[in-house]
Structure 1
């Protein structure tokens, strides 16, 4: 899943959604402990079913603990995720429904958001998701029609049971959200470079205090903590999928010294980078 700062959702096989079924081994390898998935957004509606696992969904300064249930992220909303608890036989079905698909069949989608907390019982939605996954994992040349039909049912259920009208106007808050997206895009493209709070604030014509306050409000982390977490997130792949030295990985991903990299990695994964590489290679 590249380009998390603005995820480019690729549709496949004429299906108006991106679908991913994650089994236990994948989840345990890529979401161990308190792993952080950086802030990102997309035009698609993201509703994922999580089973035998618990995550914290961060939207701005608000945290939502999702345990054995659905996560719901509306179009254009900046959000991040971290794993909280992974139990035996975890499973996740990720579904990102195409904005263009929703817009075509429900033109008022820009004035609409979805709130799953409107109902405590999500069994109808869960049944549709289980059917969708069964179709997705057992496709023939015509199954894309069945999958699309199932997505229509899901979308119709969301509109009937979970729709919330929103006023669509250009407020100060919405302008700030757009600016935060620009800031995150810049940060993700330049994270390997020395980035200071002062330089970032100057680049976006803000005072340090205002920049810091706005960043924390919309991202849920301080600028320094987020930058460190993002650098670690990008370095993770090189730890488990390359034979680069730890010093080279730290330097490549913007850490000023290898000690700070090892310390942050150990605090997050409970192993040093070399210990973790050996553990993953055995698995």
Structure 2
């Protein structure tokens, strides 16, 4: 089943990036526009034509036709168009969904996304057979999502798993023989606890007390397993939720700060600007302007 270009309602698409198990899209921009974003899902872009600069957590990725870009969950990113039209297939997969696939610790790196250097080495000008296979799998996933046949969930999990394995192989990652360590499992438990309790007071000492681990151990191992320092991860979870609320509600910035777990609105403002490179109100206005332009 072909996926029609821009055949979706933009607000629903943005909502799906935070709330759906997965979302398949086929997008094309014909005008140059910059956009800042952050969302719950890992986003995979398969670029058909054109080119753009993406800045993910402040690091530059230049993407063009034949490239595959992976934007990790809750990583702030900004896009600037270069050559138009800029067409790409997209797959967003929610962390809660890919964790349920139980693909193992080795596969988790795929969902975190590569560094700029790894991107250039492994995901620039991807071999035609891999590129075509990725698009074919996305079309199959899109079809499963819409036709709702028997054993739909099984087919969906199979297709997402195949996509993950293709990316894993293209990255040149090697599967470790040993099983997931007890320490790694504890770090993922801490990560899931943060995901569910970000509205509550969270810091290194409180997590140390709750999980009976030394603060130094958590600091070292969490960054190794999750790919981000603990404090940065807590703030990324909270700011991602703040961005979602700015997009989908009319709540005040002060209320949103409290809903995201910040005692002080000034701390929320500072962290939001650090991560998103703009204020919450600027983000809300940019989002509204973008939706107006793309109607």
Give me the CA root mean square deviation: 5.0
Deviations 1:104-144 (A, max 9, x none): xxxxx879979994997421122233445566668996999
Matched, 1:92 2:89: yes
Counterpart CA distance in 1 for 2:17 and 2:126 is 34
Contact 2:53 2:79 survives alignment (8 Å): yes
1:127 is aligned, of 101, 108, 132, to 132
Deviations 1:166-211 (A, max 9, x none): 354336xx32221111001111111101112101012111111111
TM-score normalised according to structure 1 size: 0.61
Q: What stretches of structure 1 of length at least 5 have no aligned partner?
A: 10-17, 41-45, 104-108
Shift of 1:250: 0.5
Q: What stretches of structure 2 of length at least 5 have no aligned partner?
A: 1-14, 111-120
Residue matched to 1:13: none
| Partner SS, residue 35 of structure 2 | coil
Residue-pair matches, total: 240
Query: CA 1:194 to 1:86, structure 2 compared with 1: closer, same or farther past 3 Å?
Result: same
**TM alignment of 1:257-272, pairs within 5 A:** 257-272=264-279
1:235 is aligned, of 232, 238, 242, to 242
Q: Which has the larger radius of gyration?
A: 1
1:202 is aligned, of 190, 193, 209, to 209
Residue matched to 2:68: 70
Contact 1:53 1:91 survives alignment (8 Å): no
Query: CA 1:47 to 1:261, structure 2 compared with 1: closer, same or farther past 3 Å?
Result: closer
Query: CA 1:260 to 1:50, structure 2 compared with 1: closer, same or farther past 3 Å?
Result: farther
Residue matched to 2:9: none
